[in-house]
Structure 1
């Protein structure tokens, strides 16, 4: 049996692992074909892999947190009024009950160390109620800030108040402890419950400032202090307090290079006020980003203390997302390593072990226990094993080569059914500051099951190979990165001599869509192309993308801020400027509500191809944004996969026609 597009509905991913004395909590994320949506539920798994269901409705139960005394499970779920609220459930038995009752719902929460109260993060004015009569008379929307929209959200509300509240476990209402006029991220709570670490934009009213500060809020004095005051340009987020409350781990970048500076692990001493980059002797990102279409609703946890001078952190290096161990004076080294993607983790209450969720190229997601003393692992729960054993998943081959002083790494998925001659697809990732790696990728397995070899390059500009590698694409889009992609195809042809060089195809999304557009306007090597959520014109991208006004100068000019004064430079980097060279049959795919690479980018490229006589179609996805392939409406995810294969299948035997023929 071969994997199908609809097997998305049979597979699940795991996240938010928690270790307790009773077992291991984990969130299971699944996709409902019938309801065309995503659901979550919470299990308690014991050492024998037996599981007990917890939660409220087994559909919207997510982000579990166990109370420090291990008596209560708190989690988010959907209340009767459709708002997101905190629910509580006794771990030793009994049903879940709604705890919070915030008018606009709860966005984040955390336990106080005494287990008697919870902190609740909420808003005022972000979700105004609209009456039926008001809905019939929509009003104009006025914006005053430069960042005024966000992919997946739409227009950002102004005049919103962001609140942190506290509610005693035995009380019905909360009370306000902090109010801010700009959004913040609730981070860590000190062991004595008196200090709250949170992250927020340092200068939120300055559209050209991209720093993010970590602050400490003292509940007793009500004083807020900035942790990284001597490093104001940095972008840092708090991760965890040490057991004595005197140390704080943070993750982020010093921002010395726009959109290139690596994220590192930082250590802050609350007594000496010293902030130290404890990963300045390694050349990889913490945590980095592994390109995938499968993992859902990960906690995003990066680091934690084992002891005051020993901690763990996730890091991404050469395609592996590993769990590293180190200390203030000890270099970070791999602890949980290997060809895999550690997606989430948590320490056991006694700090003698780690429970983590992982993915590999043939294992979608599973729960594993790691003993810190013996370094032995035990698989606790593999929810997909019975499904994947019948799908004939392929194990990709890894290869690398040298170009211009850089190591270029790639992965090759051979067709599931071997043949003496078969087509292959060059698939360029987005970003560009991400990377392919050792994680499950449903789409690549599906394409391989359809008879295609799939070539996945990590060209310069991506993550996992050092900061210089990431920086190499800045001001050089469509140059060395383009050559890296084509060279990866050459290497794959050497690796698998059954690839038919006359049946090569190309696709990619976001930056990969830019590269697909660049490829079809600079070479005729490929039989057909599918460009997804692409960039075709940097001049229009600059002012219409939710990140365009700063991402464009970051990437194309290597500076923090820019303008449209260098029209020729931006145009030269635009695939649309070279459209007269295109002749590759190209399917243009774009989401109607994409705010990252707005649909106008696809519209411009489609019209350019059409008016230049190139075979093309335009496929528009309603109610979809930039994340369609990862978290979009499930039926449209399936339709997208099938359309890609249909386009390539239709052009396998068809001769490529030159314009005018």
Structure 2
């Protein structure tokens, strides 16, 4: 039996693990075919692997957080008025009940040290006013950036509030209010200090620093942690048990969009900030390219003891949990060929409960003993489903080019044949990388009879900062050549690939590269370009990130403008459209603010006017995240159209004989 597109509805991803003395809580993320949406529920897993459902409605229950005394489970869910609120449920069972009642919902919550109150973040004035469709009103914007993919226009003239509400109270009281957005990242063990992050100069559209601040609840004093590194972008992660140390994650921003994100340590007594990962050359936490994991906590670092901490890191396709200390280099603790997706320390700090994925395991819950370094699987909700799917284990390939190691993965067709087609699939980002995680689309394509070539060309993460920086001011050069060389490596790896039936696809940066490929070579029989960049000139002012991402990537500068028209145009695939001959399907989401649909429109018109076989597939109610978290029916339509395009443009018998 082969994996199908609709198997997305049978599979479960896990996130937000936590532990009690009796077992483990974990969030299950499911996709509903009947309702065409995503649901979350909370499960308790006992030590024998049995599960009990917790939560309010088992559909919108997410982000479970145990109280410090292990008596209460707090989580977010949907209230009767459709707002997101905090709900509470006793750990020993009972009915979950709504706790908060914030008018515009809750975006964050965290327990106070005594387990008798919760800190709550909310926004006042952000809820859009209802408008009469017959009498619409204009909207005026005055900020930059003013929109965000998946959100739309950003709210203006709103208040961001941190509030506290005790368990026996029905209302909250204000702790801190700010004009600009902020996010609480850590609460001290004594409950007297909060660490939060915010843009350092929010009114300056050309400043990209992000500061971590400490809020003293006793006197309301706010101090900046990284005042000696004002250009840095740092976020707080965790306080030590004694409250005297703080872990942070972020970059010193010495290079635009290229500086590696590291783990930082702050001593509250001496006010000393130190990069404790300055002797490594990989990103913390990094990002592996995939389409299956949903709603992860994004927890990066934590203290196991006062001088021993844990952090997520990404290196050569592996997303591992690293351990280190003030005098100890970070080394893999939970490593290997897998993706550690989420984790939490047990209450006694003797073990780690974590969720993980591999290329053939969608998601499961496991336990690691810090003393013995032994681990075992606790709960695998997908085991029975996947054993009949015939999932393939990709082969790794490596080669050297221009002083860089280029690594990639090749998914062979599920059924071996004497001759078969193959797809070069270029990842997005660009600062991500393929790696050891479950990728539904690649497994589906392999089940359809395609070999799938997934390279990590220079531009992505996992191979050092110089590797990521090599593409800056050089888009479509070494990275393009790396992709072409990866196809050659795959042909050597699998001699049953038909070189006359090669296809290419990609999204976002991969969409740019697909556009670049079809305007620079005729090697491929057909192409599918998705959420792509075709014209850097129009991208500059229409993308939610265009005005800063364009100079970052093409000029290596923090800020830029459109004065260098020739350079921006030369980097644009549209400038080379007269070379294109490859049949190309253009896919784009209508609500994509990252790579606006105008990019796809321009490329489609360019192909059409040059006589290239092309179609334009538009996805309504979809954003840049279509392939990962878009409406399920649109995800299925996308996969079906991609395969149909390649089948329609398969090589003829004449080309085989030529």
TM-score w.r.t. length of structure 2: 0.99
Paired position in structure 1 for 2:10: 10
SS at match of 1:176: strand
Question: How far apart in 2 are the matches of 1:350 and 1:87?
Answer: 26
Deviation at 1:656, TM superposition (A): 11
SS at match of 1:648: helix
Paired position in structure 2 for 1:259: 257
Question: How far apart in 2 are the matches of 1:277 and 1:500?
Answer: 50
Aligned residue runs from structure 1 range 344-423, under 5 A: 344-423=342-421
Paired position in structure 2 for 1:493: 491
Deviation at 1:180, TM superposition (A): 0.4
Paired position in structure 2 for 1:464: 462
Paired position in structure 1 for 2:641: 643
Deviation at 1:137, TM superposition (A): 2.2
Runs of 5+ unmatched residues, structure 2:
none
Question: How far apart in 2 are the matches of 1:438 and 1:95?
Answer: 39
Paired position in structure 1 for 2:88: 88
Question: How far apart in 1 are the matches of 2:144 and 2:81?
Answer: 33
Paired position in structure 2 for 1:523: 521
Question: How far apart in 2 are the matches of 1:334 and 1:564?
Answer: 45
Question: How far apart in 2 are the matches of 1:656 and 1:442?
Answer: 34
Contact persistence 2:322–2:330 (CA under 8 A):
yes
Paired position in structure 1 for 2:605: 607
Paired position in structure 2 for 1:153: 151
Contact persistence 2:525–2:651 (CA under 8 A):
no
Paired position in structure 1 for 2:38: 38
| Cα displacement string for residues 523-554 of structure 1 (whole angstroms, at most 9, x for unaligned residues) | 00000000000000000000000000000000
Question: How far apart in 2 are the matches of 1:589 and 1:655?
Answer: 29
Question: How far apart in 2 are the matches of 1:294 and 1:656?
Answer: 40
Deviation at 1:136, TM superposition (A): 3.9
Deviation at 1:265, TM superposition (A): 0.2
Deviation at 1:139, TM superposition (A): 1.1
SS at match of 1:137: coil
Deviation at 1:19, TM superposition (A): 1.0
Question: How far apart in 1 are the matches of 2:608 and 2:327?
Answer: 61
Aligned residue runs from structure 1 range 171-320, under 5 A: 171-320=169-318
Query: How has the CA–CA distance of structure 1 residues 655 and 543 changed in structure 2, closer, same or farther, with 3 Å as cutoff?
Result: farther
Question: How far apart in 1 are the matches of 2:567 and 2:573?
Answer: 12
Contact persistence 1:201–1:210 (CA under 8 A):
yes
Question: How far apart in 2 are the matches of 1:314 and 1:623?
Answer: 34
Contact persistence 1:527–1:656 (CA under 8 A):
no
Deviation at 1:135, TM superposition (A): 4.8
Contact persistence 2:301–2:310 (CA under 8 A):
yes
Question: How far apart in 2 are the matches of 1:441 and 1:609?
Answer: 31
SS at match of 1:115: coil
Paired position in structure 2 for 1:130: 130
Query: How has the CA–CA distance of structure 1 residues 320 and 177 changed in structure 2, closer, same or farther, with 3 Å as cutoff?
Result: same
Contact persistence 2:425–2:504 (CA under 8 A):
yes
Paired position in structure 1 for 2:99: 99
Contact persistence 2:22–2:47 (CA under 8 A):
no
Contact persistence 2:262–2:276 (CA under 8 A):
yes
SS at match of 2:205: coil
Question: How far apart in 1 are the matches of 2:138 and 2:128?
Answer: 15
Deviation at 1:128, TM superposition (A): 3.8
* Counterpart check, 1:449 vs 2:447: yes
Question: How far apart in 1 are the matches of 2:654 and 2:294?
Answer: 39
Question: How far apart in 2 are the matches of 1:73 and 1:12?
Answer: 22
| Cα displacement string for residues 418-457 of structure 1 (whole angstroms, at most 9, x for unaligned residues) | 0010000000000111000000000000000000000000
| Cα displacement string for residues 397-422 of structure 1 (whole angstroms, at most 9, x for unaligned residues) | 01100000000000000000000100
Contact persistence 2:589–2:622 (CA under 8 A):
yes
Question: How far apart in 1 are the matches of 2:431 and 2:164?
Answer: 38
Question: How far apart in 2 are the matches of 1:540 and 1:27?
Answer: 41
Runs of 5+ unmatched residues, structure 1:
none
Contact persistence 2:500–2:651 (CA under 8 A):
no
TM-score w.r.t. length of structure 1: 0.98
| Cα displacement string for residues 534-583 of structure 1 (whole angstroms, at most 9, x for unaligned residues) | 00000000000000000000000000000000000000000000000000
| Cα displacement string for residues 309-339 of structure 1 (whole angstroms, at most 9, x for unaligned residues) | 1000000000000000001121000000100
Question: How far apart in 1 are the matches of 2:625 and 2:154?
Answer: 18
Match of 1:321 among 313, 319, 335: 319
| Cα displacement string for residues 56-76 of structure 1 (whole angstroms, at most 9, x for unaligned residues) | 000000000000000000000
Contact persistence 2:472–2:555 (CA under 8 A):
yes
Deviation at 1:654, TM superposition (A): 4.3
Question: How many pairs align?
Answer: 655
Contact persistence 1:584–1:656 (CA under 8 A):
no
Question: How far apart in 2 are the matches of 1:20 and 1:137?
Answer: 55
